[in-house]
Every structure is written in structure tokens, then in C-alpha cells.
Amino acid sequence: MDESLHMKKAFLLSMIVSLCFAALMGIIVFISGTYGWVEVKILLTTLAIGIFSLAGLCNAALYEKGKAKGFAMTGIIITLIAFILTLILIWNDGYSWRELGKILYTLWVLSIASAHVSLLLLIDSTDGKVNIARMMTFFFIVAISLYIILFIYEVITFREEFSIRLFGVLVILDALGTIITPILHKYTKIQSTQATESFSTNLRR
């Protein structure tokens, strides 16, 4: 068996085991009914494993498909670093959120953004309308990420009503593009199939 296939299987298996273990720890905490500081850390760790696993899988799926491998690998690395730093801050009381907070928040934003972009890149389409919708959604993802990062580093604030409104508009347009792109892809595929069937029918006539 190919070595890369062994590595993929080991990666997926380790992810399944870690998710199951995290879920088990979370269930035990809830069933026990005790919510001390250790239990809170366990729940935060469970949440971190779930979120970063999903983000990592989005990038890994893109890498597995052989599309934008450089971007996908960068997303995986960012997600891994963000996860490790999150665990350090959860379990090591020697570090404070104030010290590493801005760096970590930035990595969170980049991790989520890379996963979002990866999901859209998984759509195989050569149709111009689909690609335009996808590119516009990429623009909104970048704009929102940049907006949040500038807010993290206190370059901009949400005190002004204009800032809040602009951010809200970007979020709505991002959500719209994320929903419309796969729907438009499905629509163009149906349209293409109908055109092919119509052409075949005309030929038979």
C-alpha cells in the first residue's frame, strides 16, 4: 500500500479517536454534575477539538482533491498552530490571554476563513456565473477577516454606527454568496444536462 495512503489513514484514525475521546470527556463532565476549573478546561478542550477538527478537515479535503494544495496546506498549518496555542492557554496557567490573545484571535480568524474558502474551492465548476459568485464570496470572506483583524489590533472600532453597519452588510453578503454559489452550481449542472438531452433528441430526429 502507498505510504501516503497509510499516512492519510493514520491521520483520519487519530482524528476519530481524539474526537471520540473529547466527546467522552465532555459527557463525563456533564453526567458528573461537577463544574470545577478542571471540568471547565475539559469542556473548552472538547470544544476546541471539535472546531479545529472541522476547520482542518475542510482544508484537508481540498488538499486531498489536489486543488490549491499550497493554500490548503497553509490552512492546515494555521489551524494546527491555533489549536496548539489554544490548548496551551487552556491548560497552562503560566500564560495569559492578554499575552497571546491577539495572535491567537488572528489565527482563529485565519483558520475559519481558510476553511470557508476551502469549502467553496471544492466546488468543481467552469461556469462563469458560478465562478463570479465564488470570487465575490472570496472577496467578502477576506474583507470580513481583515475587518476583524483590524478590530483585534484596535486599528478600527465598532463604536461608530457606520462600522457596525458595514460589518453587518459584509456578513450578510458573505452568507448570501456561500449559499448561492453551490445552488447556482447545481442549477447550471441541471441546465447543462437538459441542454445535452435536448441536443441528443434533436439529433435522433
Residue (of 165, 164, 169, 118) closest to 140 by Cα position:
169
The pLDDT value recorded for residue 1 is 46
The pLDDT value recorded for residue 128 is 87
CA 128, chain centre distance (Å): 25
The pLDDT value recorded for residue 10 is 64
Please give the average pLDDT of every successive group of 10 residues along the chain, which has 205 residues.
56 68 72 70 81 86 86 92 88 66 90 94 87 95 94 82 88 94 87 64 59
Asked if 29 and 41 touch (Cβ cutoff 8 Å), the reply is no
Distance of alpha carbon 202 from alpha carbon 83, whole angstroms: 58
Q: Give the cell for residue 96.
A: 495569559
The pLDDT value recorded for residue 142 is 96
The pLDDT value recorded for residue 71 is 94
Across 2-27, b (16+ Cβ under 10 Å) vs e yields eeeeeeeeeeeeeeeeeeeebeebbe
